[in-house]
């Protein structure tokens, strides 16, 4: 993220002051960080997620930054609950200026060894949740004549990865849905002030990997390099005031996308090698994570992966004769989030 002296920051503060911003998946990760960042810039943030108690914490954090915030317990895989989130936003601010579909879920493991129910829930949350949010947002935008829809996809929506099959399918769907909506809007002379933006992060240090279902037989670790989630939060702030069709966040993601354009087979080989390391981590039991029901762990913006990596490097430097820890790659415990 740019520093506090960034020349973009005054522009964002001016353009976002008083705007009504809806954010799904707001109880952790990018969503939580974005909620506070938008509130700090004077936006009225309407926050949706399943964990009501955690959402109230985020509301207090937003208010401490001088912003206005409201929490609406929302399961984005339920169209009726997403519609209620939209009604709450309009009821609070009279309109919706920015809608960010951020909620997502993953299941890690070989495709045919992962329960079909889990694959279905990944699609319901990640793709259908985005579709439901896009639907209510665009209907509201057309009523008021303007608005900015931001769909958080993933570089996995451009370049496939093994062991994340349903997540990859869902994110490809998010990228395609966003593109289709942009094409529809281009055909409408009366919709020039409605925008659809897609943000595509690569691996970032969030609780996503703690929340994911895991049927790989190994501890889940994010594929390297792992980036600071502040990069994605800054990208969301930027496209909210300066809409762009697609924004890839993270150097590795940009390289993967560029490689895929000119050498698709090479790009897939690079991704496969990176994700194959998933099967070299210590053993771990099967879990559905927070896929089917909310989890009490992983409530911060960060997931603690960068800290664990730095700690391991420090330990190895201090004890160069010791072999790597058997805990290398394990998911962080509650104290790291």
Q: 67: helix, coil or strand? A: coil
The three-state (H, E, C) secondary structure of 182-244, written as one string: HHHHHCCCCCCCEEEEEEEECCECCCHHHHCEECCCECCCCCCCCECCHHHHHHHHHHHHCCC
Residue (of 298, 278, 238) closest to 246 by Cα position: 238
Model pLDDT for residues 144-199, shown as the tens digit of each residue? 999 999 999 999 999 999 999 999 999 999 999 999 999 999 998 777 899 999 99
- Give the pLDDT confidence score for residue 313 in this predicted structure: 42
Average pLDDT over residues 232-251: 97
Counted residue by residue, the chain has a size of: 337
Q: Give the orientation angle of helix 8-16 with respect to helix 230-241, to 10 degrees.
A: 60
Look at residue 253 and tell me if it is in a domain.
yes
Look at residue 310 and tell me if it is in a domain.
no
Look at residue 321 and tell me if it is in a domain.
no
167 is catalytic: yes
Look at residue 42 and tell me if it is in a domain.
yes
pLDDT at 316 over 60: no
Model pLDDT for residues 8-35, shown as the tens digit of each residue? 555 566 699 999 999 999 999 999 999 9
Q: 181: helix, coil or strand? A: helix
Look at residue 314 and tell me if it is in a domain.
no
Contact 57, 81 (CB under 8 A): no
Residue 191's CB: how many other CB atoms inside 10 A?
17
Element spanning 307, H or E: helix 305-318
Write out the residue range of the structural domain in which residue 155 sits: 8-303
Q: 169: helix, coil or strand? A: helix
Q: 289: helix, coil or strand? A: coil
Question: Annotated catalytic residue: which of 132, 164, 167, 215?
Answer: 167
- Count of CA atoms in the C-beta half-sphere (13 A) of 31: 31
Model pLDDT for residues 72-118, shown as the tens digit of each residue? 999 999 999 999 999 999 999 999 999 999 999 999 999 999 999 99
Model pLDDT for residues 323-336, shown as the tens digit of each residue? 443 333 333 333 22
Cα 118 to Cα 103: distance, rounded to the nearest angstrom: 16
Residue 319's CB: how many other CB atoms inside 10 A?
9
- Give the pLDDT confidence score for residue 9 in this predicted structure: 55
Look at residue 49 and tell me if it is in a domain.
yes
Look at residue 322 and tell me if it is in a domain.
no
Contact 170, 104 (CB under 8 A): yes
Q: How confident is the model at residue 314 (pLDDT cuts 50, 70, 90)?
A: very low
Residue 62's CB: how many other CB atoms inside 10 A?
26
Write the CATH number for 269. 3.40.50.720
Q: Looking at the 3D structure of the chain, how many domains does it have?
A: 1
Look at residue 45 and tell me if it is in a domain.
yes
Contact 270, 195 (CB under 8 A): no
């Amino acid at each position: 993220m740019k520093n506090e002296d960034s020349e973009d920051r005054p522009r964002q503060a001016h353009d976002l002051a008083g705007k009504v911003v809806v954010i799904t998946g707001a109880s952790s990760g990018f969503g939580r960080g974005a909620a506070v960042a938008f509130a700090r810039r004077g936006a009225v943030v309407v926050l949706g997620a399943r964990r009501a108690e955690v959402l109230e914490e985020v509301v207090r954090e937003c208010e401490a930054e001088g912003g206005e915030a409201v929490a609406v317990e929302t399961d984005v895989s339920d169209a009726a609950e997403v519609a209620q989130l939209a009604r709450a936003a309009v009821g609070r601010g009279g309109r919706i200026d920015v809608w960010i579909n951020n909620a997502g879920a993953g299941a890690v493991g070989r495709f045919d060894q992962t329960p079909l129910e889990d694959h279905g829930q990944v699609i319901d949350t990640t793709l259908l949740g985005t579709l439901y949010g896009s639907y209510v947002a665009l209907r509201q935008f057309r009523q008021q004549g303007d608005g900015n829809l931001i769909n958080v996809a993933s570089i996995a929506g451009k370049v496939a990865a093994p062991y994340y099959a349903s997540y990859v399918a869902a994110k490809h769907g998010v990228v395609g849905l966003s593109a289709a909506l942009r094409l529809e809007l281009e055909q409408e002379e009366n919709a020039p002030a409605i925008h659809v933006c897609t943000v595509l992060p690569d691996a970032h240090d969030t609780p996503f990997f703690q929340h994911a279902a895991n049927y790989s037989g190994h501890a889940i670790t994010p594929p390297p390099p792992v980036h600071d989630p502040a990069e994605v939060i800054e990208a969301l702030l930027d496209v909210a005031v300066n809409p762009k069709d697609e924004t890839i966040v993270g150097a590795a993601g940009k390289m993967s996308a560029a490689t895929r354009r000119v050498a698709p087979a090479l790009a897939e080989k690079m991704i496969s090698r990176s994700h194959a390391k998933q099967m070299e981590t210590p053993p771990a039991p099967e879990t559905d994570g927070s896929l089917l029901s909310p989890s009490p762990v992983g409530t911060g913006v960060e997931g603690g992966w960068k800290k664990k990596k730095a700690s391991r490097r420090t330990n190895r430097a201090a004890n160069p004769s010791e072999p790597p820890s058997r805990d290398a790659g394990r998911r962080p415990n509650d104290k790291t989030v």
